[in-house]
Amino acid sequence: MWKLTTRRPGRVACRAASGYNVTVPAFDSLSATDAQFIYGDSDRAPMSMGNLCLFEGEPLFDEKGVFRLDDVRRAIESRLHLVPRYRRKLLEVPGGFAHPIMVDDPNFDIVQHVKLVALPKPGSDEQLKEAYARAHEGMLNHARPLWEITFIEGLEDGRVGMVQKIHHGPFDGASTVDIMDQLFDGTAEHVETEAPPWSPEPAPDPVTLMNVRWAEQVSSAWNWAQEQERLAKDDPDRAEEVSAAMKALEEVKKAPKTSLNVPIGPRRRYDWVPTTLAVAKEIRGLVAGCTVNDVMLTVVAGGLRELLKSRGEDVDDLVLQVMVPVSLRSTSGVSDAGNQVSAFVAPLPVCEADAVERLESIHRSTTELKEGKQALGIQLVTQSTQYTPASLMAAAGRTSNEQSSGINLTVTNVPGPRRELFLLGARMLELNPQVLIGNDITLNVAVESYVDKLSIGLCSDAEANPDLHVLRDAIARELDELLARARK
């Protein structure tokens, strides 16, 4: 029997029942929440997120007009010591006793992760969006670190696209922003980074790993039980708070049936609506106390109203159920890059034709939810999975993404890089986000800022949403209408 005495990335010290200390090679633990994304991964519903960035083109080509792919790879690889999980791959724990871990990939090759594709002429925006979709279709290779960057040359205006594809298991939306800050320059002057030498740590042997991870899981469960007992003694209101949180979850209304919620296929279609933080902040002034997130939910609801009406669906009494993720991160950085999120489920009044009244309604709902216990209930349910046997979670994960989740869509809002970013002197001009879909949800929305810009990314199943442009154009009109009313 093994007793875990420390739990951190790096070498792990264990004490055997005989009393001898044993040093286990480095590994990086995934939480139950992280592992759920691994278990649910499939080519039909890949658990990957990311973005499409657009860069100035000229600095990325040499004097012969050839894309500087080798230079780009060197620049990115020189900073991978700042993002340790970018050189780590999955390793299954034998027997399914615990969730997979991450270990150094001894065969890591930057060529497999940083790629280049070229658009055929004329290199239009529609071709760019198609290339964006193709890059995000299918699973990332679980035998390698779970990320890819694909550069896209051949755009008609000379810009260069960059598609980031990052698995949602080892990373969440907030950590991807920190990763960009680490991998790219903050000024137009590229500074060569002197990377420290990297030698991959060997993976632990299967039997030792199984024992260590089992001990880790038992220790975690024991510590959790003790913590709950301590809280019950020190905080008499804790039980009442937990009860209120569970009751709040029971009060979440059932999602109505719409064409947005049907089985998904393997093909994707992406689009986005560009705006600015200044516009969103000006619009929020229409309703006292309103947030930028309230504005985003409002314009998305208005866009969905027009989309569903164009499909002949009745929207007069329609209130969708939208999940809004909430970050639990207290600090930024990539040292603890896994998923640290809760969420709440809010009513989205698609039935409301007047945009300002819709904004008022959404603001009231989100304020009540933030002051209520629903988000705590979701957090507690998420935490409880830490003590569910890994083998059961893995078995459930294989079918979970083929079942309804009880909501209509997700709208996630991530504060992006606050400073301009550069690659080999090329300025990043745009950042357009993408979030995964699954669970019979054919459309999700990701909102992300970049300096003073804001992009509303539309991420959809291609077969279910051939008319995604209708939603894009309707959201743009909603923004224009609300801005005009804010300026009256």
Per-residue pLDDT reduced to its tens digit, 68-86: 999 999 999 999 999 999 9
- The CATH code of the domain that includes 10 is 3.30.559.10
Same domain, 408 and 310: yes
Number of structural domains found in the chain: 2
Contacts by 328-335 with C-beta closer than 8 Å and gap 24+? 328/379, 329/174, 332/174, 332/177, 332/178, 333/178, 334/82, 334/83, 334/84, 334/85, 334/175, 334/178, 334/179, 334/182, 335/84
> Would the pLDDT of 458 be above 70?
yes
Please identify, among 183, 207, 226, the residue that sits at the C-terminal boundary of a domain.
Answer: 183
Spatial CB neighbours of 357, under 8 Å, sequence gap ≥ 6: none
Query: Residue 181: its pLDDT value, please?
Result: 93
Query: Residue 174: its pLDDT value, please?
Result: 83
- The CATH code of the domain that includes 256 is 3.30.559.30
Same domain, 251 and 368: yes
Query: Residue 206's CB: how many other CB atoms inside 10 A?
Result: 13
Average pLDDT, the chain: 86
Please identify, among 144, 160, 183, the residue that sits at the C-terminal boundary of a domain.
Answer: 183
- 70 within some domain: yes
Query: Residue 176: its pLDDT value, please?
Result: 86
User: Cα(217)–Cα(211) distance, rounded to whole angstroms?
Assistant: 10
Per-residue pLDDT reduced to its tens digit, 346-405: 999 999 999 999 999 999 999 988 876 666 666 666 666 666 667 677 776 666 656 566
Query: Residue 65: its pLDDT value, please?
Result: 96
User: Cα(460)–Cα(468) distance, rounded to whole angstroms?
Assistant: 8
> Would the pLDDT of 93 be above 70?
yes
Same domain, 128 and 251: no
> Would the pLDDT of 16 be above 50?
no
> Would the pLDDT of 257 be above 60?
yes
Per-residue pLDDT reduced to its tens digit, 51-62: 999 999 999 999
Give the mean model confidence (pLDDT) for residues 169-184: 90
Same domain, 175 and 281: no
Give the mean model confidence (pLDDT) for residues 431-455: 96
Same domain, 92 and 160: yes
- 216 within some domain: no
Using 50, 70 and 90 to split pLDDT, how confident is the model at 4? very low
- 137 within some domain: yes
Query: Residue 214's CB: how many other CB atoms inside 10 A?
Result: 18
Q: Which residues pair with 54 in a beta bridge?
A: 161, 430
Quote the pTM value: 0.87
- 423 within some domain: no
- 260 within some domain: yes
- 357 within some domain: yes
Range of the domain at 467: 237-418+431-486
Cis peptide before 122 (omega within 30 of 0): yes
Per-residue pLDDT reduced to its tens digit, 365-381: 999 888 766 666 666 66
Select from 201, 193, 221 the least CA-distant residue to 80: 193
Range scoring the smallest mean pLDDT among 90-99, 291-300, 367-376: 367-376
Same domain, 160 and 243: no
> 428, 185 in Cβ contact below 8 A?
no
> Would the pLDDT of 118 be above 70?
yes
Per-residue pLDDT reduced to its tens digit, 120-157: 999 999 999 999 999 999 999 999 999 999 999 999 99
Query: Residue 62: its pLDDT value, please?
Result: 97
Please identify, among 162, 183, 204, the residue that sits at the C-terminal boundary of a domain.
Answer: 183
Same domain, 277 and 151: no
Query: Residue 173: its pLDDT value, please?
Result: 82
- 41 within some domain: yes
Same domain, 291 and 175: no
Same domain, 245 and 312: yes
Give the mean model confidence (pLDDT) for residues 85-108: 90
By CB atoms closer than 10 A (0-12, 13-18, 19+), residue 134 is: middle
> 40, 397 in Cβ contact below 8 A?
yes
- 449 within some domain: yes
Same domain, 27 and 158: yes
Same domain, 19 and 143: yes
Same domain, 268 and 145: no
> 479, 295 in Cβ contact below 8 A?
no
Select from 411, 432, 454 the least CA-distant residue to 277: 454
